[in-house]
Structure 1
């Protein structure tokens, strides 16, 4: 178990920019990297099912380091009693808020009756939120889509959001696309349904002052700044994951904090130190390195950088020195092109 994380800004301020929960990606190694780049952003766990928390070993799923700062725990589930039990188990770990996933469209999630399919049952989600609130003093939030399948996104989203407000939700995170539960894969659901940012902006105006964060298709901080004219906060997912160095500009541009930002060399050195500690605990280097592949994107030598991290980090007995080799590939190529 971990102590309460060191908090750079209050939670309501941190929601101004967050990195989305992404299954198989936003684990504690990924969050360690992201926290090196932004002191203030709110970070999320992967979606963790209530069954995994209750029956799958809480320490394995919930433990995180105080160096990760403000972290929100995202849960997947639809049974109010199980959600409340999972929250009670998670209480000692020091999360900043508890978020309920009502947006994931995968078949596996639907078969467990949680994720986006719950948008068809706002009363059940409201019961879940009330049970979660009864189990914790932490803010309980919901991440949803603007609708599913053939729902009218005007009427159905208002009905869903109003039910969340009545249940006492502390904030809503809204992915500005429908989820099509039949006929589209999870990957297709991230790109094919059209984005409808104005619909989310209208909902934010109607529900003000409820904190509302917009998500979906946002790929640059310029876009984030434009959305912040309408929204409490902005959430980025794959863009932040695949090009993590963009996070180095978040604190100055979105929080007004001009503290010194680590450059690529400093980030690689810090991650090497972190990896040394994790290897001593028996963890695998490639589980850390896989989150770092995009650090050099846009720089000369980025392809070799990715190759070294993705291939060499998987070799037996390889240590954090692989990070130095990857960095050297970028630095050497940059010097060569400058000469």
Structure 2
């Protein structure tokens, strides 16, 4: 069953390169029935010119799930968005926040904060091409820009092109002098600026992103009037802390599985993946943080890390690691 992406965006798991693949999203969906999940960024050139349609693969159980696109050519993004909509995604998101060198050289990602007119053109073309909602994930500014001036103009111009939902990473991106990793930590967070945008743009749906690590924090932003919260690394490294209990705390609907039950529920999925020629480690690398901070967590990580790469590794290894966790909890 498809759930409404706009409602699900009350709590979203951020798009994260090399992390939020279909295996990761399958695990996260077991922990929360309602949170909005995002793909890794997929570049429009890879889809349109490279024919990399395998990057669009996901399972029906992942809904609600959004496709994040990277690019800066309106016609190409429109075609990529159309491919995403045809694949069944619930939302198409344009990346205007990633600060990596590869993104800059392709003139997309955070560097587009300097070209709100071009972003508006891209959004208009994408909206014309698809019926699903087109959204934008952005920064508050880049380099020497003044966020208090740049961000309102950006929201106004891109909003006028028809984008009604924005996810704002509450940090600048420094395109020169900081690595992508440093850009996730060093520029200071400015939550107050994002809150002020909520007051200025009452017609827009605004989510906040950056430095959010707990459900209590997420709940606080929602209570303060923001429309949604996006959590990144915390949801990956300690998924139980962020996603177990999220359905009750954020959506008012007790749902989702415990970490133990989620691990067991992954076993048939793993069997299917292995029978298709996949490797256990491709799935279990996303499960290492499932019992973070709990007795047995170290044994769980050790067993999976040391054994999942072996050619004969399968569900039995996960069951053995789980027995270590349950034994310590007894």
TM-score range, shorter chain: over 0.9
Q: Which runs of 5+ in 2 are unaligned?
A: none
The worse-fitting range, judged by mean Cα deviation, of 262-271 and 66-75 is 262-271
How do 1:151-166 and structure 2 match up within 5 A? 151-166=145-160
TM-score after normalising by structure 1: 0.94
2:175 match: 181
2:253 match: 257
CA distance, structure 1, for counterparts of residue 112 and residue 81 of structure 2: 19
Q: Would you say the 8 A contact 2:32–2:257 is kept in 1? A: no
Counterpart check, 1:196 vs 2:190? yes
Q: Would you say the 8 A contact 2:85–2:132 is kept in 1? A: no
Aligned residues: 328
1:319 match: 314
Report Cα offsets for 1:34-63 as digits up to 9, x if no partner: 000111111100000011212334431001
CA distance, structure 1, for counterparts of residue 30 and residue 16 of structure 2: 19
1:171 match: 165
CA distance, structure 1, for counterparts of residue 279 and residue 54 of structure 2: 15
Change (3 A) 1:267 1:197: same
TM-score after normalising by structure 2: 0.97
2:266 match: 271
How do 1:114-263 and structure 2 match up within 5 A? 114-228=108-222, 229-246=224-241, 247-259=243-255, 261-263=256-258
User: 4+ runs of 1 displaced by more than 4 Å?
Assistant: none
Q: Would you say the 8 A contact 1:58–1:89 is kept in 2? A: no
Q: CA RMSD in A?
A: 1.1
Report Cα offsets for 1:58-81 as digits up to 9, x if no partner: 431001111111111100000001
Tell me, what secondary structure is at the counterpart of 1:148? coil
The worse-fitting range, judged by mean Cα deviation, of 178-187 and 307-316 is 307-316
1:28 match: 22
CA distance, structure 2, for counterparts of residue 289 and residue 180 of structure 1: 34
